[in-house]
Amino acid sequence: MKNKTAILRVNLDVTDREIKSSLRIKTAAKSITSLKGKYERVIILGHRGRPKGYEKPLSMKKIAEALAEVSGAKIVFVPSMEKEKIKEAVSEKGIYLLENMRFFEGEAENAPQFAKFLASLGDIFVNDDFATAHRKSASNVGITKYLPSVAGELLKAEIKNLSKLMKATKHPYVVVIGGAKVSDKLGVIKKLLPLADKILLGGGPGNAALTAQGIDVKDSIGLEEADLLKTLIKSKKILAPIDFRVQGDRILDIGPNTEELFIEEIRKAKTLLWAGPMGLFEKAKFAKGSRIIAEAIAESNAFSVVGGGETTDIIQKIGSANKFSFVSTGGGAMLDFLSGKKLPALQALKINQ
């Protein structure tokens, strides 16, 4: 492999504010380190945001600098969007980061022509980007048709740990669901309800559950999605908040009695899944519920999995990321996987779910 080129897909979808502390940057650096030395060249593919063509604020230049700092490797950023110039730029031995994949025409559409171009740059494709596994793009699905393709270690770890949550597992099994929308988490709730012993709802899903029970949450987020939970909320396995922290007519966090109720269930658990904050955690006044839940799960001896961008932000802020059994880098991909949906990028690698 010493004279071969590996094309590595990692997740670099972070904001400027998150770059230095991002879990995604740290895990991407591990992926790069695992290939450094094994291959003559490593060409890194990634994206940021949802640009409509070239948008300078979403360039990968700062990402290259952060990856170099975290990995300790020299990483050459390739700013060109012209195919011949890109080929020329990556002709020497080294580690290269191409510009934001979503700047390129054909990426989002999974266009064969763009996928073939990416494949032409290397000898093997390594997909270590679980967070985009639910997307069908040229740089994670199309490219596999033109190169030998394998899953990276991070992708394997995601599949292994998330699969544990969908099979016979240790009980009590407690699922904590928060965030903004019920619709994003509905598939997970339905899929795990038969297996879980308790599903604790906060944030938008908690407010929707309260509304479904006939409780007036006034102008709180989640109100409009109450119908989605009307049948499910009848299950004794599902616990909605019993008190809250409010501002005006809006519920913005779970209250102290709900924290105690949820902590009691978390302490009993042998298996734990947490996806989504309990409230408006970006504001200190409404971050307590999420922090309390994070600390309770971190202190648990259960097999614990945490996922979603906002949820991982919380555990990074309180410095407890290493206290969970597994921290998923996936948001939508994790939810789709746990809902039982087939993920295009995994299917492209012929990985059974």
Phi-psi region of 55 (alpha: psi -120 to 50; beta: other; left: phi over 0): beta
What is the pLDDT at residue 20? 76
In which element (H, E) is residue 204 found? helix 203-212
Phi–psi pair at 57, nearest 5 degrees: -60, -20
16 and 146 fall within a common domain: yes
195 and 141 fall within a common domain: no
Encode pLDDT of 125-163 as tens digits: 999 999 999 999 999 999 999 999 999 999 999 999 999
- CB count within 10 Å of CB 85 equals 12
- Domain containing residue 71: 5-154
What whole-number distance in Å separates Cα of residue 149 and Cα of residue 128?
Answer: 11
**Average model confidence (pLDDT) across the chain:** 95
- CB count within 10 Å of CB 194 equals 8
Flag whether the pTM goes above 0.85: yes
Q: Say what the alpha-carbon torsion angle 264, 267, 269, 270 is, to the nearest 10 degrees.
A: -170
User: Considering the domain boundaries, does residue 352 fall inside one?
Assistant: no
Contacts of 336 (CB under 8 A, 6+ apart): 134, 187, 343
189 and 217 fall within a common domain: yes
- CB count within 10 Å of CB 147 equals 20
What whole-number distance in Å separates Cα of residue 265 and Cα of residue 77?
Answer: 48
319 pLDDT band, cuts 50/70/90, is: confident
170 and 279 fall within a common domain: yes
User: Considering the domain boundaries, does residue 139 fall inside one?
Assistant: yes
Residue 164 burial (10 A CB sphere; 0-12, 13-18, 19+)? middle
Encode pLDDT of 4-33 as tens digits: 999 999 999 998 988 877 889 999 999 999
User: Considering the domain boundaries, does residue 349 fall inside one?
Assistant: no
| Structural domain ending residue among the three candidates 154, 173, 203 | 154
User: Considering the domain boundaries, does residue 266 fall inside one?
Assistant: yes
**CA-based nearest residue to 130, from 272, 303, 305, 4:** 305
Q: How many domains does the chain have?
A: 2
What is the pLDDT at residue 49? 95
What is the pLDDT at residue 250? 97
182 and 146 fall within a common domain: no
User: Considering the domain boundaries, does residue 299 fall inside one?
Assistant: yes
Going by the DSSP 8-state scheme, the letter that residue 341 receives in this structure is P
Q: What would the mean pLDDT of 283-312 be, rounded to a whole number?
A: 95
